[in-house]
Structure 1
């Protein structure tokens, strides 16, 4: 969850006074880093994943499940028995926005050898076991993207009431401040966003219109002193706190590139892949009720423009047009949190002001300069994936994306299309069942080099503005290929693997992961979002009214927990038990 400084947080009025100061010195800090390490080459290719978890409490007597507000307590114990006593501990744990959330990563980044793909799932399983071992009976660690009854009455344990008419961080009708992480950054961020806007966050997600859903669907609010009815749209689910976005879970991968040019190349290529993988990993169909979207991204995203003064400053300092444009996109933002102790910094050796702005830009890709005076290289963070129910699924998506970066770099592939088309793809990716129903702009010939950059914030040259170079394709065509149209990413990855020296166990693990991606893309296996919808719609208590009751939520989360802990099978999501590929001693196992 970005930068976590310690200190005395300033109010929005005080923070705003230093907005120009933070932006100016953030750019200076970036320039110091850039000039120091722009020529740095041959950093080792490293990568790592980040999995966000929710803690839940099951009430088996009353058939309820609630979010467990003890993330801080569990985090302290995990760090106390892990990295604080052993710097080589295999897992690392960090706080997240919700007080019911924690984030786990491998203790050390993975390297460039193929055999490391065979350790990802084991490490994810170890993280789940570590966290689970600290919980009491009837408590569990879950990897669900959106908790279905987040914001409904009594969704936390212990239960707290929202305080919409009292001074607090969010002043939400639905989301109590106690559900926000106790670290001062999170509540300050929440409060300052509200003060900066001059009003609360207003998120409207289209409701899924079922047979008995009221038409029009209009929410009724008690104690409506903030005129919520005006902010709430008909036929939409209304949410009034950033916890509805930041309180969801995701799966991320960060890559360290060998140089700045390689990092920029990966950033641009992967940006076009973001909506494809988002649709493939869709796992967020519920926001208090059943929605008509499958992904969380639209709940937390925001539109941007460019700060021309910052752009001019960067180009005068020798930053090329496209990288300057990218940084200028970020720095139109105000700093949303600031600590009194962190106002005046040594710009040559600290980067807090740069990270202050960088870490509050929620984009699908993040370009990350090295921290000052460190041995960490230029990095790229891939952020659009929804977290999956099982460690196997999460490993599959991570391995797929990491393998794709290997192929992009090895074959010098070109996925670039205009960013306006990427934006259109992002809108499609979030729609219900986009993996089967959506059509996405994608480049026809990915071996052909691009030309001039067009319409957007790329970090380097390579965009192709020729509309003949890209067409609308289905996810199935993009991932699995279609004769005469597109070769498919999975066949390309499979070809790459056949030419690599890989031990049999690792090869079979990789092929198992790619099999999941392949069958999700074809629709043979369901996405988590589709599976959850069908579970709810087939529940005997569901009234075809778009409402998820406590009992439906309980049964769904019990099932999710059983699947995640291998206590039951789910062929709709994962295939038939025993269908995993087995080592055969052959180098040419195919999908």
Structure 2
């Protein structure tokens, strides 16, 4: 969702004028947060999930399924009968990119006791029932990653035509601006990404070819002025705006660590799991009415918000721009933050040298300084005129402006000023599932994993270049069954800095050789284990549970969740065979 502010957003030309100002004050704000809170210790483990939903209407008469563009009204109703009258309401509701989307979270974060795992699914069910109760007849709340007909003619209710030649936000051939949330942040992001890039975004997804697919598969666009024809690739599904990425749904988990060092340790360890869990949760093969040859949305979103100019993408020599930038704003992480991870930072990292030196001069260590200096090579995209002047000691909106539009697989989140919130990390790669049981299973699996990592001081780190290769593999069709992923062989024998993320980097630490630290494994081996290769995460989690005091109900719930993860990894999971749009499906 990112930073939501009320106000008057600036167009790109005026935003660009203030870019250096916002970066400068954003860094000052970060330095103030760091100096004030770097020694904060003993925050309790808190965590929470975020589920994104689509509002769908089923038209039995005309046999149509459409996305309903009434998210604003649904959100107002839910907030009005919930948090606005009861600050302790068990659910919270927030807007999302699409005007057919809403986001639901628990009203309060979950705590550190094992019994909390037994409440995740029930809270998700409460959210679904609560939102469903305010919908109109024939409307349902759907947790589906990618709506199969997103961008097809008449995919919204009410129906609106795209306006590629009018002064709108997207100028898309397929996606009407009315499908974008009415909050000014979302249309401003859409417009300013296009203006900064100098052209529309270009999303090309390989099409799945069966015996009926033309070869080559080439589309023509009657409303095109030539730009889309140049951007569209043969044998690919072409899309042309932010809505095709940010208009998808996902499942995320945020953790509060006990200290900044623990947060950095968790950030690094979980980063290696992002491709694994992405492949495990893969749920989006359909785009613009076609069957694609991929299973995940990640690359689609990455391309949908890629605001890099041709110079920054390496298509032209640098002349007007400062940096060659190797990835979109929405991509995998580019550097580890903990001392353990330093020797595995093998990706070329583009940083703002002036900001990097400013951070070092303020007493911030190299690893964290280069992380922030890398995020801040980006421009702000959505600036509000009313928020230009800020108190850098007590506000952080300029920092969050850049931070919240770097959408990476993991996010390292400093505490907001003057709050009781601690240092956090956000796990972002999961695809949302159809049922609350499945979504709860993935959330509990990831949270349990963090407990085991911290309790056993496990080390899953591999070179970041291999994590990037894993991320590419994770998005391929049937990667969960057919893909091979780089993974560490011995997770109990590795660097253990005592969670000291700010001590001097161990640049001289040698191993028996990188090829002996990690190897290619299947998802089944990583999750379930293979004798002589890897013990498997599920057996490790089961061992952890056996040594914990867990009540019978909670233990049974957790084991059922782990059984689902185990079956997904082994390829033996069988989804329920029924109408996924029926109320009975979600209640079962």
CA contact (8 A) 1:265 1:460 kept: no
| Structure 1 position 33 matched with structure 2 position 78 | no
CA contact (8 A) 1:142 1:561 kept: no
CA contact (8 A) 2:457 2:496 kept: no
CA contact (8 A) 1:407 1:496 kept: yes
2:315 alignment partner in structure 1: none
1:487 alignment partner in structure 2: 535
CA contact (8 A) 1:100 1:179 kept: yes
| Structure 1 position 270 matched with structure 2 position 270 | yes
Cα pair distance change 1:461/1:409, threshold 3 Å:
farther
CA RMSD of the aligned region, Å? 1.7
Question: What are the within-5 Å matches in structure 2 for residues 188-227 of structure 1?
Answer: 188-227=188-227
2:377 alignment partner in structure 1: 332
Shifted more, 150-159 versus 217-226: the winner is: 217-226
1:371 alignment partner in structure 2: 416
Shifted more, 92-101 versus 310-319: the winner is: 310-319
CA contact (8 A) 1:300 1:362 kept: no
Q: Deviations over 1:517-539 (max 9, x none)?
A: 0000000015x8xx9xxx9xxxx
Query: How far apart are 1:103 and its partner, in Å?
Result: 0.2
- Measured in 2, the distance between the counterparts of 1:188 and 1:430 equals 29
1:347 alignment partner in structure 2: 392
2:559 alignment partner in structure 1: 511
- Measured in 1, the distance between the counterparts of 2:168 and 2:399 equals 28
Cα pair distance change 1:562/1:129, threshold 3 Å:
closer
Cα pair distance change 1:519/1:70, threshold 3 Å:
same
Cα pair distance change 1:561/1:432, threshold 3 Å:
farther
| Structure 1 position 290 matched with structure 2 position 335 | no
- Measured in 2, the distance between the counterparts of 1:451 and 1:41 equals 19
Describe the SS at the equivalent of 1:145: coil
2:323 alignment partner in structure 1: none
1:67 alignment partner in structure 2: 67
1:185 alignment partner in structure 2: 185
Cα pair distance change 1:561/1:350, threshold 3 Å:
farther
Query: How far apart are 1:331 and its partner, in Å?
Result: 0.8
- Measured in 1, the distance between the counterparts of 2:114 and 2:587 equals 27
Describe the SS at the equivalent of 1:559: coil
Report the TM-score, using the length of structure 2 for normalisation.
0.89
Query: How far apart are 1:566 and its partner, in Å?
Result: 3.6
Query: How far apart are 1:232 and its partner, in Å?
Result: 0.3
Cα pair distance change 1:166/1:226, threshold 3 Å:
farther
Question: What are the within-5 Å matches in structure 2 for residues 558-569 of structure 1?
Answer: 558-561=579-582, 564-566=585-587
Query: How far apart are 1:450 and its partner, in Å?
Result: 3.1
1:394 alignment partner in structure 2: 439
CA contact (8 A) 1:322 1:461 kept: no
Instruction: State how many pairs are aligned.
Output: 534
Cα pair distance change 1:123/1:155, threshold 3 Å:
same
CA contact (8 A) 2:121 2:436 kept: yes
Cα pair distance change 1:509/1:28, threshold 3 Å:
same
CA contact (8 A) 2:71 2:99 kept: yes
- Measured in 1, the distance between the counterparts of 2:554 and 2:216 equals 54
2:462 alignment partner in structure 1: 417
| Structure 1 position 520 matched with structure 2 position 568 | yes
1:436 alignment partner in structure 2: 481
Query: How far apart are 1:307 and its partner, in Å?
Result: 2.0
- Measured in 2, the distance between the counterparts of 1:80 and 1:210 equals 49
1:162 alignment partner in structure 2: 162
Query: How far apart are 1:564 and its partner, in Å?
Result: 4.2
Q: Deviations over 1:396-434 (max 9, x none)?
A: 000000000000000000000011000000000000010
Unaligned runs of 5+ residues in structure 2 are 307-326, 329-349, 498-503
Describe the SS at the equivalent of 1:380: strand
CA contact (8 A) 1:253 1:383 kept: yes
Q: Deviations over 1:237-284 (max 9, x none)?
A: 000011000000000000000000000000000000000000000001
- Measured in 2, the distance between the counterparts of 1:559 and 1:46 equals 33
1:570 alignment partner in structure 2: none
Query: How far apart are 1:223 and its partner, in Å?
Result: 1.8
Question: What are the within-5 Å matches in structure 2 for residues 117-132 of structure 1?
Answer: 117-132=117-132
Describe the SS at the equivalent of 2:407: coil
Cα pair distance change 1:294/1:68, threshold 3 Å:
same
CA contact (8 A) 2:99 2:181 kept: yes
Question: What are the within-5 Å matches in structure 2 for residues 552-591 of structure 1?
Answer: 558-561=579-582, 564-566=585-587
- Measured in 1, the distance between the counterparts of 2:199 and 2:549 equals 58
- Measured in 2, the distance between the counterparts of 1:23 and 1:307 equals 11
Question: What are the within-5 Å matches in structure 2 for residues 55-94 of structure 1?
Answer: 55-94=55-94
- Measured in 1, the distance between the counterparts of 2:166 and 2:124 equals 41
- Measured in 1, the distance between the counterparts of 2:525 and 2:587 equals 32
CA contact (8 A) 1:49 1:398 kept: yes
Describe the SS at the equivalent of 2:66: strand
CA contact (8 A) 2:15 2:383 kept: yes
- Measured in 2, the distance between the counterparts of 1:99 and 1:212 equals 35
Describe the SS at the equivalent of 1:102: strand
Cα pair distance change 1:467/1:563, threshold 3 Å:
farther
1:549 alignment partner in structure 2: none
Question: What are the within-5 Å matches in structure 2 for residues 35-50 of structure 1?
Answer: 35-50=35-50
Unaligned runs of 5+ residues in structure 1 are 453-458, 536-555, 568-591
Report the TM-score, using the length of structure 1 for normalisation.
0.88
- Measured in 1, the distance between the counterparts of 2:105 and 2:91 equals 6
CA contact (8 A) 2:530 2:536 kept: yes
CA contact (8 A) 2:125 2:436 kept: yes
- Measured in 2, the distance between the counterparts of 1:562 and 1:424 equals 40
- Measured in 2, the distance between the counterparts of 1:278 and 1:316 equals 38
Q: Deviations over 1:463-492 (max 9, x none)?
A: 977231000000000000000100100000
Query: How far apart are 1:80 and its partner, in Å?
Result: 0.4
Question: What are the within-5 Å matches in structure 2 for residues 432-511 of structure 1?
Answer: 432-450=477-495, 466-511=514-559
1:245 alignment partner in structure 2: 245
